[in-house]
Chain A
């Protein structure tokens, strides 16, 4: 609407095309006595003077510069409006009025820009598409930065935490308290000890030459056993404490870290249970392998390990595909090598699976040399194999690297997805503000601002009241829509009213009021509605019989146009009838607080001015009997 304010006079003039077809008289045009000739106004922003037409600013009446709010900044001596704001950013604000498009100047700080927009009453959602993405990106970055700062300051312990919560917090964020830190380092130390023990256990430290060398584990069994026991004790206690402190035990038990913990300590207990049982000692030995999983417990202590694990997890599909293609290559080359080397004697390539080893070693450029081709064909294919291996192995590295960086950008992608939703929200907001004009019209109708009688009474304070609530542009636009209503003999209503009336369609109600006789059988309309609280058109009636309410309507009182539309009070008799789609319903309620409409007594509008403000005030006060 705002961008075409210049065309409003044209639209109004073109409304003359409706006049010959209208059967009803048109409402009076809003008073233009206060209309000034279009003049240049000076906007002094921190010393830099901008000049523009007044009409340009009036295009957007819901902003600071377009409304009467700017009068607060008017400087009488210099006849200009002074704003103590940034003049650089004011340029884009003013250009918005001039061109209808709001641009975001990239050199400006995002929060400063937001503040300027908020000051001048412009919503950032109307930034043009050319600049909107940049604006949103910068805003998000800023928000993330602030969020990070906030998290860094989150060290203050919230009061009234239970013992359990304290423990959990200590476990998750070791730097929060000294006890947690101590615990953190102690467990780390013991993990290290346990891993070293496992390693050293197998080192041969035999001394006697006549005995074959024994690993230290068998030599110092008791010592190692004690060490192991101690570590497992610590780990068990730690696990149990975590289990106790976890807010959701079930979820904790399912988490990777707890599984690692369990796997780390289980072998010990299983070993305790089945000691010296020859049959399962083999299995027991295998179990000891699992002790090495204790090293994974370090991942709680190391952020890098966690990211690595997450990376591998996230590029699992790429790695899987690569593994697949590698397998294909291995099978192909192994087959080729096998058949190539079949001829040569004492060849190590005894079978295709045996050639697999050669292929893998060659493709990864390891080249142990335990299997080498001897025939010429074998050598040729062997060289092809190693060359292609270089290529194939070189592929996963960028994949992993790119995945690693992708993880960092992944949260940005999630934000973009959120931005898509924001896009919809943004469009919705713009749409709402644009349809504000139509709801503005209905709102004005509600407040009875089509004040024909005011024109007749010409009371000054009422005019002022009028001009306070709507700008001239709005009132002219509303007048135009009102003319259209009169032309077609239908009225604009809110969507909700429409829905409601549609629901009640098919239920015809006869008017109960004798004054509202249906002349033209409008009860046959597709959707009859309850009375819209129309006042009686009869001049002699002093009863607000028009203020009829159906119980159902009470719930929607706040959205329905009120009967006390002043224009309806003074409408002539014959035109009242077609419009009053008949006041429906069993009239069970009455409006108590509405004063006797003074104009009902005198259609010529000797509406007493004192009643006018009271009238407006009482518009929404309704009670039901």
Chain B
């Protein structure tokens, strides 16, 4: 290997730099000259570079697992999965739903109120691996629980939704946030008007019902136990059996 210009051999004896092409390439001055004469659009326009990389990110396409695998993981039939995927792909051609898109889609169903906060909680409930986007698998697995799961599974899912920090306990603050977001969806024009204390009153009622040992938090066992005793809740859990 030829020593580059300026490179000192280990022997200590300074060798005259050989003026070969390889050596030339190693010279930093030459490198700089070559770099500056590279196609200008790469060097001078940082904006396009970043926008190119933006483009790269946005065209990342996610392909879902195969139909058979999904069929195994969920309780949907093949036709149902196909129909679900068609709808999903139509709205999100890249195969991923990010939070903003999710919020905008969910808000369309509640034109009178502001559904973004609740959509945020929903998003976190669906996005199991917390990577900021929902893939079709997450979507379909979540739906499978909600529509075809057992009551316990559904209650588990609801608990997971309320437990914002996923620590296994629902605190009053978490419940208040959830309740406020639900009331936000009602909007302004309601009868009777939504008072400011309405969410917290509702939360108090909820805790009164759910929190058996009065320790200020609701655990999963308390939650499931109470819900199973409440006829209304059990009935409403079956409400959306045949949505798909």
Chain B residues lying within 8 Å of A522, measured Cβ to Cβ, are 192
CB-defined interface of A1-41 with B at 8 Å, one 1/0 digit per residue?
A: 10111111111111111111111111011001000011000
A102 beta carbon closer than 8 Å to chain B:
no
Q: Is the CB of B191 within 8 A of A484?
A: no
Chain B residues lying within 8 Å of A12, measured Cβ to Cβ, are 240, 243
Q: Is the CB of A491 within 8 A of B191?
A: yes
Complex Cα distance, B179 from A24, in Å, reads 15
Chain A residues lying within 8 Å of B179, measured Cβ to Cβ, are 21
**Closest B residue, CB atoms, query A13:** B146
Q: Is the CB of B108 within 8 A of A10?
A: no
Q: Is the CB of A26 within 8 A of B186?
A: no
User: In A50-69, which residues have CB < 8 Å from any B CB?
Assistant: 53, 55
A477 beta carbon closer than 8 Å to chain B:
yes
| B189 touches which of A38, A480, A483, A498 (Cβ 8 Å) | A498
Chain A residues lying within 8 Å of B96, measured Cβ to Cβ, are none
**Closest A residue, CB atoms, query B234:** A19
Q: Is the CB of B83 within 8 A of A492?
A: no
B235 beta carbon closer than 8 Å to chain A:
yes
Q: What distance in Å separates the Cβ of A429 from its nearest Cβ neighbour in chain B?
A: 16
User: In B90-115, which residues have CB < 8 Å from any A CB?
Assistant: 90-91, 105-106, 108-112
**Closest B residue, CB atoms, query A479:** B239
- Give the dominant DSSP class at B's interface: helix
User: In A474-494, which residues have CB < 8 Å from any B CB?
Assistant: 477, 480-481, 483-485, 487-494
Chain A residues lying within 8 Å of B178, measured Cβ to Cβ, are 21
A512 beta carbon closer than 8 Å to chain B:
no
Complex Cα distance, B193 from A522, in Å, reads 11
Residue of A20, A25, A98, A438 with most partner-chain B CB within 10 A: A20
Q: Is the CB of A492 within 8 A of B186?
A: yes
Complex Cα distance, B2 from A421, in Å, reads 75
Complex Cα distance, B193 from A495, in Å, reads 12
Chain A residues lying within 8 Å of B232, measured Cβ to Cβ, are 22-26
B242 beta carbon closer than 8 Å to chain A:
yes
**Tally of chain A residues near chain B (CB < 8 A):** 64
Complex Cα distance, B194 from A397, in Å, reads 69
Task: Say whether, besides A10-B139, A16-B157, A480-B109, A526 and B192 are in contact (CB < 8 Å).
Answer: yes
**Closest B residue, CB atoms, query A10:** B143
A46 beta carbon closer than 8 Å to chain B:
no
**Closest A residue, CB atoms, query B210:** A20
Chain B residues lying within 8 Å of A7, measured Cβ to Cβ, are 87, 91, 105-106, 109
Task: Say whether, besides A6-B86, A26-B236, A488-B186, A13 and B143 are in contact (CB < 8 Å).
Answer: yes
Residue of A26, A437, A522 with most partner-chain B CB within 10 A: A26
Q: Is the CB of A21 within 8 A of B139?
A: no
Q: Is the CB of A484 within 8 A of B91?
A: no
Chain A residues lying within 8 Å of B143, measured Cβ to Cβ, are 9-10, 13
Task: Say whether, besides A9-B243, A13-B147, A19-B158, A501 and B186 are in contact (CB < 8 Å).
Answer: no
Residue of A21, A492, A494 with most partner-chain B CB within 10 A: A21
Complex Cα distance, B99 from A257, in Å, reads 68
| A438 touches which of B111, B122, B243 (Cβ 8 Å) | B111
A232 beta carbon closer than 8 Å to chain B:
no
Q: Is the CB of B155 within 8 A of A491?
A: no
Q: Is the CB of A19 within 8 A of B237?
A: yes
Q: What distance in Å separates the Cβ of A383 from its nearest Cβ neighbour in chain B?
A: 46
**Closest B residue, CB atoms, query A498:** B189
Task: Say whether, besides A7-B105, A477-B109, A16 and B158 are in contact (CB < 8 Å).
Answer: yes
Q: What distance in Å separates the Cβ of B169 from its nearest Cβ neighbour in chain A?
A: 15
Q: Is the CB of A15 within 8 A of B182?
A: no
A528 beta carbon closer than 8 Å to chain B:
yes
A529 beta carbon closer than 8 Å to chain B:
yes
CB-defined interface of B175-212 with A at 8 Å, one 1/0 digit per residue?
A: 00011001101111111111100100010011000000
- Give the dominant DSSP class at A's interface: helix
| A490 touches which of B109, B194, B235, B244 (Cβ 8 Å) | B194
**Closest B residue, CB atoms, query A522:** B192
Task: Say whether, besides A4-B91, A20-B227, A484-B110, A14 and B183 are in contact (CB < 8 Å).
Answer: no
Complex Cα distance, B192 from A491, in Å, reads 7
Chain A residues lying within 8 Å of B194, measured Cβ to Cβ, are 488, 490
Chain B residues lying within 8 Å of A8, measured Cβ to Cβ, are 109
A566 beta carbon closer than 8 Å to chain B:
no
Q: Is the CB of A17 within 8 A of B189?
A: no
| A20 touches which of B111, B125, B155, B244 (Cβ 8 Å) | B155
B135 beta carbon closer than 8 Å to chain A:
no
Chain B residues lying within 8 Å of A55, measured Cβ to Cβ, are 83, 87
Q: Is the CB of B189 within 8 A of A525?
A: no
A225 beta carbon closer than 8 Å to chain B:
no
User: In A482-536, which residues have CB < 8 Å from any B CB?
Assistant: 483-485, 487-495, 497-498, 501-502, 522, 525-529, 532
Q: What distance in Å separates the Cβ of A205 from its nearest Cβ neighbour in chain B?
A: 81
A434 beta carbon closer than 8 Å to chain B:
yes
Q: What distance in Å separates the Cβ of B215 from its nearest Cβ neighbour in chain A?
A: 19
Q: Is the CB of A527 within 8 A of B108?
A: no
Q: Is the CB of B111 within 8 A of A437?
A: yes
A581 beta carbon closer than 8 Å to chain B:
yes
Chain B residues lying within 8 Å of A98, measured Cβ to Cβ, are 90
Q: Is the CB of A29 within 8 A of B190?
A: no
Residue of B88, B233, B237 with most partner-chain A CB within 10 A: B233
Complex Cα distance, B121 from A22, in Å, reads 18
Chain A to chain B: the 4 pairs with minimum beta-carbon distance, closest first: A6-B87, A13-B146, A498-B189, A26-B236
12 pairs of residues in contact across A and B, judged by CB atoms under 8 Å: A21-B206, A25-B236, A438-B111, A484-B186, A488-B202, A492-B191, A493-B191, A494-B189, A501-B192, A502-B193, A522-B192, A525-B195
Q: Which residues of B contact A (CB under 8 A)?
A: 79, 83-84, 86-88, 90-91, 105-106, 108-112, 121-122, 125, 139, 143, 146-147, 154-155, 157-158, 161-162, 178-179, 182-183, 185-195, 198, 202, 205-206, 223, 227, 232-233, 235-237, 239-240, 242-244
Other than the known A16-B240, A434-B111, what 18 A-B pairs have Cβ atoms closer than 8 Å? A3-B108, A9-B84, A10-B143, A13-B243, A16-B237, A17-B121, A18-B182, A19-B239, A21-B182, A22-B232, A23-B232, A28-B239, A55-B83, A98-B90, A491-B190, A493-B190, A498-B189, A501-B192
Q: Which residues of A contact B (CB under 8 A)?
A: 1, 3-26, 28-29, 32, 37-38, 53, 55, 98, 434-435, 437-438, 477, 480-481, 483-485, 487-495, 497-498, 501-502, 522, 525-529, 532, 581
